[in-house]
Structure 1
Amino acid sequence: MADDKKRIDHPTGTETVGHEWDGIEELNTPLPRWWLWTFYITIAWGLAYTIFYPAWPMIRSATAGTLGWSSQGQLEGELKAAEAQRAPVLRAIAATPAEHLTGNPQLFQAAVEGGRAAFRVNCVQCHGSGATGSKGYPNLNDDDWLWGGDMGAIHHTLVDGVRNPDHEATRMSLMPAFGRDGILQPDQIQSLVAYVRTISHQRKPDAMALQGRDLFAANCAACHGPDGKGNRQFGAPNLTDGIWLYGGDEATLTETITNSRAGVMPRWGEKLDPVTVKMLAAYVYSLGGGEAKKVQTASR
């Protein structure tokens, strides 16, 4: 019936499709030639793509395509190219002792950048993304080092870890649990806390702190030193500054002296390759708390 109503629209010269709505007719205007050819080309391109590249899904995979290209293969090629580009630098870092890396600013900077990436993967879980640490996890940006902050000491700590009892070369120290093991009585511990807070400038000297001084000399000075400034040979912290690993308030110090602390750090020497560990040491050293002469890196 609609074909019977078809006619030529005189103003445009175009045939109508035979439909009418309230006197409005639809024109059968042909598509532009450029649009049609573009459509045909895209169809041809799509068919060609399915021939040359992976396209049609199969039961276990897709058709491979006549060119043999795959995104996985491209990624593997790019990774191999990147590894080949880094290989000379990695070989140079491997051949340089950790404590000598700072003598070569360009190589040191390359190690720092590699260590920065490794830190984000392996260390931020404990030390934080900015390496500022948290309660029980040291801030790596300051100058307060338990075991030493030069390149050699940092590398040693990373390789052998801290308090890994199954590893002979690990960093090892043991603070007695003075209260739990009955070495000191609660009132003695309170006197000792008062003395520690006095030498850390959190409390004014008084009679209780004076009693704690004698207790400190008898029980703590062997590791922390007679003046309380610590001893890196034992990983004993400096008690006279304002930097605390667990906290320097009265309650936290009481807990520390009563039950002791024994934080553990993994030995990365068995988890990461030697070059990556060395680059981690360079990055930690570069954060600002590294000791000895600093290297002026390219980023400064």
Structure 2
Amino acid sequence: MMAEKRIDPPTGTETVGHEWDGIEELDTPMPRWWVWTFIACVIFAIGYVAVYPAIPMAEKATTGTLGWSSRGQLSAEMQAEKGRRAPMLTALSRIPIERLPQDSALMQQAVAGGRAAFQVNCVQCHGSGAAGSGGYPNLNDDDWLWGGDLKAIEYTLVHGIRHPGDVATRTSMMPAFDGILSPAEIGQVTGHVLSLTGKAAANPSGAAIFATNCASCHGQNGKGSRAFGAPNLADAIWLYGSSEQEIRRQILAPRHGVMPAWQGRLDPVTIRMLAAYVHSLGGGEDFVEVAEDPAVQVDEQP
């Protein structure tokens, strides 16, 4: 129901002009401080629109009279950071990687950069702590198929492992012995492999089979060969498991993991920093100068 506007006697305030069941609404004005604050906000908004990017257009927003943008600020900050890091990156690209530990400050910076690159590119397989999992190597230990010095690690990162399309990739291939050895012989050689780490008693028959079929790659003592990328079977570090069933499976139908070649995906300096980080995890080896004879440089052969 509608009623004419009137002054409410108790408050002295004009009503809005309508009433319902005897209840009327007062037309109480806004506090003056609120009104002035609202006007100030409107003035500020008009100034903001004029000075900063604010109005979306078809392809971009209005630039504002200052020409500032958050993207432009980020780009400037990134360029400044790039300039700050340039001397370190240049030094890292020029120093022979095997000499990197001799420059402790540069090595420390390389490890820090490699840690960041590892979190982006490597944790998916090796884990955030580089401890690996079934089929993915633990990079914290000192078990290396092709060598654990900086130069060998860098080579592996550059060319990968069994990476299709890279002729220099690290390659090793264990044959499947299903059909080559009888089930009884598989059991015997499995027992011998278990005995190498003390998990089973000596198995002379298995040792003889091992010497005939496996020692050419793994060595007579089962300690592997970096020339072939053959793992050490006597160090109790296993990629696919150390139980009798898992070892038997690997003999019958070997699994061969693939690591991508990072050249072309990452720049050479980032790869070098990754090598420094992996080397620093605890299992890194010292670089040893070897003769120029290719037969001696087994760690550098794919």
Measured in 2, the distance between the counterparts of 1:160 and 1:177 equals: 25
Aligned mate of 1:252, from 241, 246, 256: 246
CA shift, 1:75, in A, is 2.1
Matched, 1:82 2:87: no
Alignment-mate amino acid for residue 256 of structure 1 = Q
Measured in 1, the distance between the counterparts of 2:17 and 2:265 equals: 79
Deviations 1:34-86 (A, max 9, x none): 22111101001111222222222333433332322223222222221221121
Deviations 1:180-236 (A, max 9, x none): xx332222111111100111211123xxx2101001111111221111112222211
Measured in 1, the distance between the counterparts of 2:20 and 2:99 equals: 89
Higher mean C-alpha deviation, range 156-165 or range 228-237: 156-165
CA shift, 1:160, in A, is 1.9
Q: Percent identity?
A: 57
CA shift, 1:270, in A, is 3.0
Alignment-mate amino acid for residue 6 of structure 1 = R
Measured in 2, the distance between the counterparts of 1:128 and 1:287 equals: 13
**Map of 1:94 onto structure 2:** 93
Deviations 1:106-126 (A, max 9, x none): 211111111111112211121
**Map of 1:197 onto structure 2:** 194
Going from structure 1 to structure 2, the CA distance change for 1:43 and 1:214 (only over 3 Å counts) comes to: same
**Map of 1:214 onto structure 2:** 208
Alignment-mate amino acid for residue 190 of structure 2 = V
2:263 partner SS? helix
**Map of 2:6 onto structure 1:** 6
Alignment-mate amino acid for residue 169 of structure 1 = A
Alignment of 1:107-118 (within 5 A): 107-118=106-117
**Map of 2:182 onto structure 1:** 185
Alignment of 1:253-272 (within 5 A): 253-272=247-266
CA shift, 1:104, in A, is 1.6
Matched, 1:237 2:231: yes
CA shift, 1:168, in A, is 3.5
TM-score, structure 2 length as denominator?
A: 0.86
Matched, 1:274 2:273: no
Alignment-mate amino acid for residue 98 of structure 2 = E
Asked whether the equivalents of residues 53 and 69 of structure 1 are also in contact (C-alpha less than 8 Å), the reply is yes
Alignment-mate amino acid for residue 194 of structure 2 = R
Higher mean C-alpha deviation, range 224-233 or range 66-75: 66-75
Measured in 2, the distance between the counterparts of 1:56 and 1:263 equals: 53
2:184 partner SS? helix
Asked whether the equivalents of residues 2 and 19 of structure 2 are also in contact (C-alpha less than 8 Å), the reply is no
Matched, 1:131 2:130: yes
TM-score, structure 1 length as denominator?
A: 0.86
Measured in 2, the distance between the counterparts of 1:25 and 1:166 equals: 85
**Map of 2:286 onto structure 1:** 292
Q: Structure 2 unaligned runs (5+)? A: 288-302
Aligned length: 287
Measured in 1, the distance between the counterparts of 2:235 and 2:199 equals: 10
Measured in 1, the distance between the counterparts of 2:97 and 2:38 equals: 63
Pairwise CA RMSD: 2.3
Measured in 2, the distance between the counterparts of 1:130 and 1:33 equals: 61
**Map of 1:176 onto structure 2:** 175
Q: Structure 1 unaligned runs (5+)? A: 294-300
